[in-house]
Structure 1
Amino acid sequence: MSAPLSELPTPSLLVDLDRLERNIAAMAAAFAGSGIALRPHVKTSKCWEVARRQLDAGAIGFTCSTPAEVAWLQDHGVGDLLWAHAPVGPRKVEFAVTAARRGGLTVALDSVEAGAPLSEAAVVAGLTVPFLLEVDTGHARLGVDPDRAVATASALAALPGLRLRGVMTHEGHISQEAVRDDLERAGREAGALLVSVAEALRAAGHEAPVVSVGSTPGATSAPFASGVTEARPGTYVYFDANQTRLGSCQLSDCALTVLARVLSVQRDGRAITDAGVKAMSSDTIATAGSVGIACDVDVVPLEGVTFVDGNEEHGFLLDAGPTRLKVGDLVRLVPNHACGTTNMWSHVTVVRGGVAVDDWPIQARH
């Protein structure tokens, strides 16, 4: 495949291969020799060509959100997976047992109520399912409060068919910090808090060899708290507009864009493209004031142009710039959130040097 961008259908999801490979290499280098394992979150790409490059760069395995991601990677022979989503409900319990039987699966639990049905199913299947205790270090999503961690871990570890491997957290709350220094401090504190929970578990007689943190904005801080053993960033492979605002990357690091064309300029200062929320996802960031960053075909921001909103198949650009957009113009849109955007597409077009060179399937989608 070799085609100029002007010949591609619009909208198209594009990944810049040079940027992707630089991002993978940079994250691998950040952990090389540190003693901290890298277990990327696969939900960002859902693409084997990306995952394969991460493994080649030294990733020990992957973090998964969904049963589909687990099964897909097991089918590709990946033998070390963390399913970082509580396996609650009969179908998920059944799947967890099936996937555990294939080997290499660890699940996440934060309560006896979540663990008991899995315990019963594991016993019936004659299996022992490893788990990490998920701990809330401030994000207030899943996760037991740190002061209840020992009691919860003890109760879960007493259930037959389950084996405690350690602790995990997602330090997503650090993204609320407006200043990068404060974000870094919050990341270090989250990592240190998780380590303290692991130490408390060990003091209570539990083995807890795994201390796992996970986020892209926290990748420079939380994993480097003394005692953390693995990091689970995901978005770093592509980065996105949100990560540029958080200071995790520069716009020149963003590998994922949506190629779109201007359809209409009937109203002054407003251009309509053919990439709406079905192309971008509707995952806007409250403080961003936009759906993404509007750029030219070389991913240079369009001066004075803001991607303010979208319908299903239309994107609305406010154009206050010196060069007005015209019908037929190509734009490249950097999404706010790469992971949500990926899940909207069945394939990604690979670009190198401004030319489309390949097409990769996106799999394990909802």
Structure 2
Amino acid sequence: MTLDLPDERIDWRSKGFWLPDTSVSAAGFAAARPGLFDGGFTWPVLVLRRSAAEANIATMAAYCARHGLDLAPHAKTSMAPGLLAAQLDAGAWGMTVATANQALVLRRLGVPRVLLANQVLDPTALRWLAAESARGWEVYLQVDSEAGVAAAATALDATASAGGRLRVLVERGYSGGRTGCRTVERLLVVARSVSGVAGLELAGVTGYEGGLGEQAAVDAFLGDLAAGAAALAGAGLLGPRVLVSAGGSAWFDRVAAVLAGDRLPGHERQTVLRSGTSVTHDDGLYRDCTPFLRVPAEGPLVAALELYAQVLSVPEPGLALAGMGKRDAPCDAGLPVPLSVRRADGGAVAADGLTVTRLNDHHTYLEVAPGARLAPGDIVRFGISHPCTAFDKWRHIPVVDDALRVVDVLHTYF
């Protein structure tokens, strides 16, 4: 679909691009099809491989279609309108966000349906959400307490003249986890308080299983989520269509196994999957925990993000320093992974024997095994671990084809 994209310019403020005296539109820059090593970039630079991202989007769309899931991928992964539009074009039911600010961004971009997978208690944000919903925007909130319901009710009172209304999902949680009602009894209490407020529509239940480390625990929690929906339906608190939402990027196969299908007698149950990192995958965290390791015939996903950084120093045997650090690369859930090395003559070799051991603000420490070789000026291509903390470090990201020529530029809105 076509989103309402602001006119973005690339200039001296755009990290990774080398435009000291020029300003150019993103479309104009991409139209020239510059190569990554033709002089228009400086190091480090983060790029997205178009073919990999397109393949991942198609893979997840096909997976959801096979299993009867609707996909609302988490926009917080990239906050990049170009990728959000591509996911919607591939059939995504909507988009998920974590904060009111992210919801505001997606509203301004023209995303028609948004699931806000977090508690919102800020009265300013709630009044805006209620007013936008009254104007026809399909937005869903979640609550896990009477305090959350009361905050939404107050916002509705402030927008009553505009016909304010809010769709609400009651959140189920688990002991020691994040937000969410810990028992079915609490779920029912909160759901009844929602039903008692004019203008609040109880749309269903939601939960997040991604913090659980074992399949048995995940399946048990997802079963609790289904039981919560059944309890609310049995209490007469739900309408004809019931939305059940779950799904990080590590266990979406279990969401399909436990929650997919219309299993709520007397109601149409819609299961919405929120997995977001599948759009780019990675070479670390999600490479090692993707559900497609358990169901390989349904995948795969491929890493789409690459960081290029120059070797600055080889001060002693076994150690090299690259000009890339925490300001550029994610390091909260695994360190960057060396993939290949480009020599000064343009030749490339595999990054065998190279290991990242730590990052400073602007330096990456590389352990160089005996027999491996790095020289100042070499450019190392790194894979990343955890895309959610990669995109936020880059305002503009070149999209490249498999010949490393720029075909587009992504903009991020964090």
Q: Please give the TM-score of this superposition, normalised by the length of structure 2.
A: 0.79
**What letter matches 1:207 in structure 2?**
L
Q: Secondary structure at the match of 2:37?
A: helix
Instruction: Name the CA distance, whole Å, in 2 between partners of 1:303 and 1:138.
Output: 43
Contact 1:111 1:156 in 2 (8 A): no
Give yes or no for the alignment of 1:111 onto 2:159.
no
Contact 2:328 2:394 in 1 (8 A): yes
What percentage of aligned pairs have identical amino acids? Answer: 29
1:37 alignment counterpart:
70
Q: Please give the TM-score of this superposition, normalised by the length of structure 1.
A: 0.89
1:242 alignment counterpart:
285
1:146 alignment counterpart:
183
1:90 alignment counterpart:
123
Q: CA 1:355/1:123 → structure 2, altered by over 3 Å: closer, same or farther?
A: same
Number of equivalenced pairs? 353
Q: Secondary structure at the match of 2:256?
A: helix
Q: Secondary structure at the match of 2:211?
A: helix
Q: CA 1:143/1:101 → structure 2, altered by over 3 Å: closer, same or farther?
A: same
**What letter matches 2:220 in structure 1?**
E
Instruction: Name the CA distance, whole Å, in 1 between partners of 2:396 and 2:176.
Output: 32
**What letter matches 2:126 in structure 1?**
V
Give yes or no for the alignment of 1:164 onto 2:202.
yes
Bigger radius of gyration, 1 or 2?
A: 2
Deviation readout 1:132-173 (Å, 9 max, x if unpaired): 111114671111113321112112332333221001111112
Give yes or no for the alignment of 1:54 onto 2:87.
yes
Q: Secondary structure at the match of 2:390?
A: helix
Q: Secondary structure at the match of 2:327?
A: helix
2:244 alignment counterpart:
211
Return the match for 2:170 from 133, 136, 140: 133
Q: CA 1:200/1:252 → structure 2, altered by over 3 Å: closer, same or farther?
A: closer
Contact 2:281 2:301 in 1 (8 A): no
Q: CA 1:139/1:64 → structure 2, altered by over 3 Å: closer, same or farther?
A: farther
1:196 alignment counterpart:
227
Deviation readout 1:215-268 (Å, 9 max, x if unpaired): 111111213314461111000001121001214468981101211111111122
Instruction: Name the CA distance, whole Å, in 1 between partners of 2:349 and 2:246.
Output: 34
CA shift at 1:104, angstroms? Answer: 0.8
1:124 alignment counterpart:
158
Contact 1:198 1:211 in 2 (8 A): yes
Q: Secondary structure at the match of 1:153?
A: helix
Give yes or no for the alignment of 1:315 onto 2:364.
yes
Q: CA 1:303/1:186 → structure 2, altered by over 3 Å: closer, same or farther?
A: farther
**Matching of residues 294-333 of structure 1 within 5 Å:** 294-296=338-340, 302-320=351-369, 322-333=371-382
Contact 1:64 1:83 in 2 (8 A): yes
Instruction: Name the CA distance, whole Å, in 1 between partners of 2:253 and 2:157.
Output: 40
Range with greater deviation from structure 2 (343-352 or 135-144): 135-144
Contact 2:120 2:126 in 1 (8 A): yes
Contact 2:341 2:350 in 1 (8 A): no
Unaligned runs of 5+ in 2: 1-29, 264-269, 294-299, 343-347
CA shift at 1:201, angstroms? Answer: 0.9
Instruction: Name the CA distance, whole Å, in 1 between partners of 2:181 and 2:301.
Output: 38
Q: Secondary structure at the match of 1:277?
A: coil
Unaligned runs of 5+ in 1: 178-182, 286-290
Instruction: Name the CA distance, whole Å, in 2 between partners of 1:92 and 1:10.
Output: 39
